[in-house]
Structure 1
Amino acid sequence: MKALRGQQFPAVLLLVAAALGLLLANLPTHDSIAEVLGFHIAIPGTDIDHSISDWIADGLLAIFFLMVAIELRHELTHGELDSLHKAAQPAVAAAGGVLVPIAVYLLIAGGPDTASGWPIPTATDIAFALGVLAMFGRGLPSGVRVFLLALAILDDIIGIIFIAVLFAHDVQWGLFLLAVVAVGAFAILSRMLGRSGHWLIAVLMIIVGVATWVLVSESGVHATIAGVMLGLVMSPVPAERTRHALEPWVNGIILPVFAFAAAFVVIPQLGGEGLSPAFWAILIALPVGKVIGITLFGWIAMRFRPRGQAPALVLPDLVAAGVLGGIGFTVSLLLANLAFAGEADIRDQAILGVLGGSLIALVLSAVIVSLRAKHYRSLES
């Protein structure tokens, strides 16, 4: 359990799961695994009838977003984003890490068939990025990790907004309003639990949480938003206990299972000229667009800091954070599935672009972070 609460082992596990999914999709095992992932399970009394792969993306990933929202709430109230002063440089850098990859993507794949994929390269995978930082960043100042954490959390906020706004279809506002009411009840129950700790309240919270997920899913808004809403309103003490309890399960099962299912893609038997522009756009926008956007905008924010105030991050460390930010992975895979939900061929190539671009960013970040860590260790010796 201790290893699953760290940063290195979960990152390795995630990478292995994705590699295994991609490998088995391109071996004779493909058909049998595809049949399992395509098997449908319905909730009686509702219109919810999903394949196992959809249950993974809509159900299991909602638990991941619940944990992300709990961490986000903590950072916004008591952590690294609890003031405008603390959030300024990572916020500006995060904006660059979104805008530049979008521009790169649209420049390459702005045609009518592929333009809808522009949100895909905007995400940063916090688990992977911090895992690489932990493995190769021994000796780096704590400010680099703090900056990257704030940057990744802000990226998560943007990704959540994209999912909620761009991928909601035929929204039934009455059901969504009922979901909001359920979230309010969940918030009240969490505060009651914080005072008493009674098991019955915890059971009621689980029931209300599941009901919220069903209502959000039925409303037409992506079901993972239910996890976000519940995490943001939970009382601090139960929220921290929930995060602590969920962390090994999310790191050890939920994220690897999602990575496996999302990466279960057949590599197209085509030459380079036959690949979709979406593939090339994501492959370039993640490692290149991210590092340019984060570095440039972060440097601009640093130049306009108040006189006499030390910079949050120096330029070479901004470059290191930028390449780490190019590891899109989890949220980018989800966005790829959503952006091209009705176009399987383009979706699969977009997923390959996410995997390839994230791998390039991972290798570059390992090299650059190692060099920066070596530099700081030499200063101390």
Structure 2
Amino acid sequence: MSQSPLSLFRSERFPAIVLLVAAAAGLAVANSPAGTAVDEFMHLYVGIPEFFELSVSHWIKDGLLALFFFVVAVELQFELTSGQLNSAKKALQPAIAAAGGVIVPIIFYLVVAHGSDAVNGWPIPTATDIAFALGVLAVFGKGLPSALRVFLLALAILDDIVGIVFIAVLFTSDVNYGMLLGAAGLVVLFGILSRRVDTRARIPITIALIVIGVVTWALVYKSGVHATIAGVALGLAMSQQPALHARHVLEPWVNAIVLPVFAFSAALVVIPEVSPSELSPAFWGVLVALPVGKIVGITIFGWVSLRVGHREGPPALTFTDLLAAGSLGGIGFTVSLLLSELAFADNVEIRDQATLGVLGGSMISLVFAGVLVSWRAWHYRRLEKTIPATT
């Protein structure tokens, strides 16, 4: 039986493949004769003049991407309350590994970029792309124990928390507290109304939630806080069952439209015609910190975490499993691309080179992950065959 389009868009393989294709297309277009026209289109302003007008690029990274962060926040809320992170014991070991996956890449980046004008890009290699990492697992990981998938999911979600905090704290300036307070009030109202969705007034309440969500996003944008934080706040505030339903409805659209469009726009980078020695430390820092910093940090800190307390749930992972998880963690992509845009918003040349570093580092990690995950999956399939069946 063939899959329906919506089922395909919800599959774990699809986002990884389409993101890769979209990023490659963006890079190809930027370096083609059509590159100038596309770049001009991305800087075209759309909206209500003198009231709410953004460039096409900003509508994508501030508007569309807020839907992605809403979906991430709903998943985060579920994991913290009912899933793999709903107790301190469950969260401890992936949290320690995630700390290594944040701290070590930052150190690698700062070592490379120290003393240069690229030093502000240190948050870029801290992110892990959940959709991409789980897609690689789906493609290459047949036979892997559920413990590795659970560990990776928890790790990636904790990484996302760090990325969200970085976006909210580091890239906020000239805050309009009146706008922010208004947005906070609407988030509270959104949470209260979401708990009334199952009443007879379901349709009007759903419409009201959509309107409140849009107005909240606009107020957060006007406040000076990055607008994607509105998606995070609304996803965390929403009642769990309606939130999970909303996530189910939005997920295929996020996977099929939001993420590919963002990947395409973020990858619209002209490859500089310079020698490797002339490339910015931002490029080299990200290129090294994502694949190497992530795998070193997650593996070492993860190995330490296995010796801390007693883990709830599936059996502990091995050191080689952690190597595979670390390689998957180096696929930064979506959030790393956004952090690159934000860190060097005032320096297009360095931003573009940092973006190339994200694409290159993520591709290196993807290759490492494909090899290591395939190897571990083969190991576990072979192990399963050697274990006598029990009656």
- How far apart are 1:169 and its partner, in Å? 0.8
Instruction: Please say if residues 89 and 312 of structure 1, whose CA atoms lie closer than 8 Å, have aligned partners that are also in contact.
Output: no
1:281 aligned partner = 285
1:355 aligned partner = 359
- How far apart are 1:45 and its partner, in Å? 6.2
1:138 aligned partner = 142
- How far apart are 1:195 and its partner, in Å? 3.8
- How far apart are 1:380 and its partner, in Å? 1.2
* Bigger mean CA offset, 197-206 vs 318-327: 197-206
- How far apart are 1:9 and its partner, in Å? 1.6
TM-score by length of 2: 0.95
Q: Secondary structure at the match of 2:175?
A: coil
Instruction: Please say if residues 93 and 308 of structure 2, whose CA atoms lie closer than 8 Å, have aligned partners that are also in contact.
Output: no
1:40-119 correspondence runs (5 A): 40-43=45-48, 46=51, 48-119=52-123
- How far apart are 1:29 and its partner, in Å? 1.0
Letter in 2 for 1:216: V
* Deviant stretches of 4+, over 2 Å: 42-46, 194-197, 304-312
Distance of 1:18 and 1:297 partners within structure 2: 31
1:241 aligned partner = 245
Instruction: Please say if residues 194 and 239 of structure 2, whose CA atoms lie closer than 8 Å, have aligned partners that are also in contact.
Output: yes
> Quick one: which of 23, 30, 43 aligns to 2:35?
30
Instruction: Please say if residues 194 and 235 of structure 1, whose CA atoms lie closer than 8 Å, have aligned partners that are also in contact.
Output: no
- How far apart are 1:49 and its partner, in Å? 2.4
Q: Secondary structure at the match of 2:46?
A: strand
Matched, 1:369 2:373: yes
2:302 aligned partner = 298
- How far apart are 1:58 and its partner, in Å? 0.1
2:179 aligned partner = 175
Q: Secondary structure at the match of 1:193?
A: coil
Gaps of 5+ in 1: none
Q: Secondary structure at the match of 1:178?
A: helix
Distance of 1:171 and 1:228 partners within structure 2: 18
TM-score by length of 1: 0.97
Instruction: Please say if residues 90 and 312 of structure 2, whose CA atoms lie closer than 8 Å, have aligned partners that are also in contact.
Output: no
- How far apart are 1:305 and its partner, in Å? 2.5
Distance of 1:293 and 1:366 partners within structure 2: 19
How far does the alpha carbon of each residue in 1:253-272 deviate from its partner, in whole angstroms, 9 at most, with x for none?
Answer: 00000000000100000000
Letter in 2 for 1:104: F
Distance of 2:33 and 2:50 partners within structure 1: 38
- How far apart are 1:236 and its partner, in Å? 1.2
* Bigger mean CA offset, 196-205 vs 60-69: 196-205
How far does the alpha carbon of each residue in 1:316-371 deviate from its partner, in whole angstroms, 9 at most, with x for none?
Answer: 10110000000000000000000000000000000000000000000100000000
Matched, 1:163 2:170: no
| RMSD of Structure 2 on Structure 1 (CA) | 1.4
Tell me: CA distance 1:258–1:266, structure 2 relative to 1, closer, same or farther (3 Å). Answer: same
Matched, 1:379 2:370: no
1:204 aligned partner = 208
Q: Secondary structure at the match of 2:174?
A: coil
Distance of 2:154 and 2:311 partners within structure 1: 23
Q: Secondary structure at the match of 2:370?
A: helix
1:10 aligned partner = 15
1:128 aligned partner = 132
Instruction: Please say if residues 305 and 311 of structure 1, whose CA atoms lie closer than 8 Å, have aligned partners that are also in contact.
Output: no
- How far apart are 1:34 and its partner, in Å? 1.1
